[in-house]
Structure 1
Amino acid sequence: MSRTILYARVSTADQTIAHQLTQARAAGFAIDDVVADEGVSGVSTRLADRPQGRRLFDLLRAGDVLVVRWVDRLGRNYQDVTDTIRDFMRRGVVIRTVINGMTFDGATADPIQQAVRDALIAFMAATAQAQAEATREAQKAGIAAAKAEGGKYLGRRPAFTRAQAAQVPDLAAQGLGDSAIARALNLNRQTVIRIRCDPAAAAAMLDRWGM
């Protein structure tokens, strides 16, 4: 029986797993399972080298549908993204994107359709890499500007509030597991684990941002 699996890579405070899942469902996808990596750089880490990325390769079977917000979730650069998509298509996996509703299916037999499909993959992968590089350069410029002005780069904005951080140990003390706490507080499971394991670091991050 085929499944529809959402892969989410969470790298910024405004890209929670819950948000990406909501977007996928709003786009009409009936998601059977979610595989997610949090805090993993998309511009420096191949999908196969990410903790949950490796699990994704093990999970997907012929006939399954892989849903991603955009093709940049699937690799660190143009070559990596195109190689990953083609690898999945050779396995019989259909890749679909939430943004623009693109579909990449290796079952296409018509050579013209194959050419159009491959051109779209190449174009979107190149666009994704260009956007990632532009974002990285903007971040570098922001850090340099902060240092030049005598300020301090604050790092990534916390994906949780002080109230949420305070509730994590309380819910854990009540016997709730990390996944249950994440659902109750609308947080990513990995965020819950980080807060639970190092509440002082979580509090320091909030302090840096004045939250």
Structure 2
Amino acid sequence: MSQTILYARVSTVDQTLDHQTTQAEAAGFIIDEVVADHGVSGVSTKLTDRSEGKRLFDKLRRGDTLVVRWVDRLGRNYEDVTDTIRRFMKEGIIIKTVINGMTFDGATTDPMQQAVRDALIAFMAATAQAQAEATKAAQRAGIEARKGDTTRYRGKKPSYDRERFNAVLDLLAQGVGASAISKATGLTRQTVLRIKGDQAGAEAALRKWGI
């Protein structure tokens, strides 16, 4: 009998296992088991090197479904993520994402469908790595700003908190427009566009204020 396993990677205090599980269930997934790694970087630690992540390769069988919030839960390194997804597909495992509702499997034999699928995998993996690098750059910028500013000037306090910032990023990843995101989050359309146009800067502003 096939099973559906949710894999969650919780690397910061801003992410929670409950949040990722609730999102998956709200999207209609019926989860048989949750496997989670806590405090693990998706940039420097491969899935096969994580204490719980490597268990997936033993637990999952042909016909099973692996659910992740987005591909960045598998990792934030392009090569690692693409290799991992292709390995699972080769073993007959279906990968589904909560965000965007993407499905990746190795069932298709049509070369055009395979090409489209592989292009999507590559794009999503590249996006995950790019977001990680942007966050890292923002962290470095924040540290340097604090070092060089003896007055500890932090600028204007952001009109958004961490939760709404993450919500904006999630909705942008789903292709939702700025006006709709504004209504959903209660932020002004201009604020949404500022976050969209400079994610690293928006992240840095939150960190400067300890949000």
Task: Quote the Cα distance in structure 1 between the aligned partners of 2:148 and 2:9.
Answer: 32
Task: Quote the Cα distance in structure 2 between the aligned partners of 1:69 and 1:151.
Answer: 40
1:109 corresponding residue in structure 2: 109
The answer to whether the 8 Å contact 1:75/1:84 transfers is: no
Shift of 1:3: 0.5
1:11 corresponding residue in structure 2: 11
Shift of 1:22: 0.1
2:64 corresponding residue in structure 1: 64
The answer to whether the 8 Å contact 2:76/2:128 transfers is: no
The answer to whether the 8 Å contact 2:90/2:106 transfers is: yes
Structure 2: segments with no counterpart, 5+ residues: 153-208
1:40 corresponding residue in structure 2: 40
Pick closer, same or farther for the CA change 1:18–1:82 going to 2, 3 Å. same
Structure 1: segments with no counterpart, 5+ residues: 153-208
The sequence identity of aligned pairs, in percent, is 77
Structure 1 residue 145 corresponds to structure 2 residue 145 = yes
Q: How many residues align?
A: 154
Pick closer, same or farther for the CA change 1:88–1:142 going to 2, 3 Å. same
2:55 corresponding residue in structure 1: 55
Secondary structure of the residue aligned to 1:100 is coil
Shift of 1:75: 2.3
Task: Note the aligned Cα RMSD (angstroms).
Answer: 1.8
TM-score normalised per structure 2: 0.69
Q: Which amino acid aligns with 2:106?
A: G
Task: Quote the Cα distance in structure 1 between the aligned partners of 2:68 and 2:42.
Answer: 13
1:95 corresponding residue in structure 2: 95
Task: Quote the Cα distance in structure 1 between the aligned partners of 2:134 and 2:11.
Answer: 15
Q: Which amino acid aligns with 1:26?
A: A
Task: Quote the Cα distance in structure 2 between the aligned partners of 1:10 and 1:150.
Answer: 34
The answer to whether the 8 Å contact 1:47/1:76 transfers is: no
Query: Once superposed, which parts of structure 1, at least 4 consecutive aligned residues long, lie more than 6 Å away?
Result: none
